[in-house]
Amino acid sequence: MSPELVGVIGIIVLLLVLFLLGMPVGFAMAVVGFCGFAYLVSFKAAFGMVGTDIWGTFSKYGLTVIPLFILMGYLAFNSGIAEKLYNTAYKWVGHWPGGLAIATIAADEFFAAICGSNTATAATMAAIALPQMKKYNYDTRLSTGTVVTGGTLGTVMPPSVLLIIIGLQTEQSIIKLFLGGILPALLLGLLFVLTIVVLCRIYPEFGPPGPKTSFKEKIKSLTGVVEALSIFALVIGGLYAGIFTPTEAGAAGVLLTLIVTLPTRKLTLQGLINSFKDTLKISCMAFMLVTGALIFGRFLAITRLPFMVADFAASLPVSPYAILAIILIIYLIGGCFVDALGFLVLTIPIFFPLGKALGFEPVWFAIIITMVTTMGAITPPVGVNIFVVKALAPEIDLATIFKSACFFLIACIVCTIILIIFPQIVLVIPNMMR
């Protein structure tokens, strides 16, 4: 049997193990990669490989960035910062038609700048904004869609756990990926706002205007964004200026979030313990994904399958963008069934070399696939953000939340198309870095 054929069989077995046994993605990749490696090389070599790879990955300095940024996000989640952000945005735009929904997106954008998690951003904002929107008689078709989709900004706006994992897996600069995510996240937020404005024009009952606030109140409320902005400026600014490594930026972010929130007494001891527990769970899951992908990647590398697929695709007499369209459709469909992080880790060993062979800029390609996979978080049947919001608002039925998210899905698709047509939106800031 040729190594390439073994590679194809390996992928089929992996999918069977994933879907039929329900084995977690990280473990499945490690087990199948181990077996394939043992078949092609030897059991002795495979034993040695898992031992050194697991120790090597777990103890790698570059990976210590993962728990630190996750902890920073959880501390922010438990700290009350999001509430202040929402209040500021609410004071400024709450009196517009759909203003509370716009305020939610604005607060999401700021919160995403200190929290790298899609679900944490959605959960935080759902808890704060949904009761407010209910109070001012917002239609649930607008309010739920806003909190569900606003969460996706968390994966594109740095610091993003998803971008960290892609960076580690594809050996790219995490800093450049972070910088590449800033403008797309702002563009996506803008398109969400546009969606709300259009919806409220067509259906004024969706988002009746809230109470007006005085100019003095507006100015006073600006203090609410100082904390989030200063944390973001220190972390991303420090990275950009080369003062910090990504790990140091994560640690600095954790310390600064603590310094900012401890005096407010919003963060309780239980909140702190919960933040640590959640961080340990999520970062352990992420480490296992990276390790599984590494072991599976070792197997795929000796089959030469990724290179063969890449060479084949590059030699096809069609535009690279036609192949990109197929890749994106796979990500869009895959993201609907598998968690975004799991699906990305699973597919990167095949699609990243392919993207490179097609001549796509790696930072741009990473941002595009992140955007597309994240859409899975707001689409049925595995839309994780939808279930997060459902858990917080049990009285609203799932179908309404899904339908509501669909309005915003159009914005996500338009955003991706704009980024494909104008890749410089992604690349302008990373390219400024020397």
Partner 1 sequence: MAVLEKISNILNQVLLWIAGLFLLAMISITGANIILRLFGLPLRGTFELMGYFGAVVTAFALGYTQIKRVHIAVDIVVMRFSKKTQKILHTVNHLVCMAFFIIVTWQVSKYATTLWETGEVTETLQIVYFPFTYAVALGCLILAFTFFVDFLKSISGDQESSQ
Q: Does 242 bind partner 1 (CB under 8 A)?
A: no
Q: Find the angle CA(374)-CA(378)-CA(380) to the nearest 5 degrees.
A: 115
| Cβ-based nearer residue to partner 1, 201 or 281 | 281
Total binding residues toward partner 1, as defined by CB under 8 A: 56
Residue 101 neighbours by CB under 8 Å, 6+ apart: 133, 138, 142, 143, 146, 196, 200, 207
For residues 287 to 316, the per-residue mask of contacts with partner 1, x marking binding by CB under 8 A and - elsewhere, is: xxx---------------------------
Candidates 168, 282, 405, 412; binder of partner 1 (CB under 8 A) is: 282
CB 367 within 8 A of CB 355: no
Residue 300's nearest CA partner among 43, 49, 42, 34 is 34
Residues 107, 112, 114, 119, CA torsion sign: positive
Q: Does 26 bind partner 1 (CB under 8 A)?
A: yes
Q: Does 122 bind partner 1 (CB under 8 A)?
A: no
| Cβ-based nearer residue to partner 1, 100 or 290 | 290
DSSP state letter for 210: -
| Cβ-based nearer residue to partner 1, 47 or 422 | 47
CB 193 within 8 A of CB 102: yes
Q: Does 22 bind partner 1 (CB under 8 A)?
A: yes
Q: By CB under 8 A, which span of 80-88, 124-132, 242-250, 309-317 interacts with partner 1? A: 242-250
Q: Does 246 bind partner 1 (CB under 8 A)?
A: no
Q: Does 225 bind partner 1 (CB under 8 A)?
A: no
Q: Measured between alpha carbons, how far is 167 from 169 in angstroms, rounded to an integer?
A: 6
In the complex, least distance from residue 320 CB atom to partner 1, rounded to whole angstroms: 30
Helix (H) or strand (E) holding 203: none
| Cβ-based nearer residue to partner 1, 85 or 168 | 168
Binding residues among 249-278 for partner 1 as defined by CB under 8 A: 251-252, 254-255, 276-277
Binding residues among 332-371 for partner 1 as defined by CB under 8 A: 337-339, 341-342
Q: Does 115 bind partner 1 (CB under 8 A)?
A: no
Q: Does 330 bind partner 1 (CB under 8 A)?
A: no
Q: Does 201 bind partner 1 (CB under 8 A)?
A: no
**What long-range pairs does 317-325 form, CB within 8 A, spacing at least 24?**
320/358, 320/359, 320/360, 321/420, 323/354, 323/358, 324/355, 324/358, 324/360, 324/368, 324/420
At residue 395, the 3 state secondary structure works out as coil
Q: Does 398 bind partner 1 (CB under 8 A)?
A: no
Candidates 284, 302, 314, 413; binder of partner 1 (CB under 8 A) is: 284
User: CA dist 368 to 103, 197, 427, 430, Å?
Assistant: 26, 25, 12, 15
Q: Catalog residues that contact partner 1 under the rule CB under 8 A.
A: 17-27, 30-31, 34, 47-48, 50-52, 54-55, 58-61, 63-64, 67-68, 71, 244, 247-248, 251-252, 254-255, 276-277, 279-285, 287-289, 337-339, 341-342, 381-382
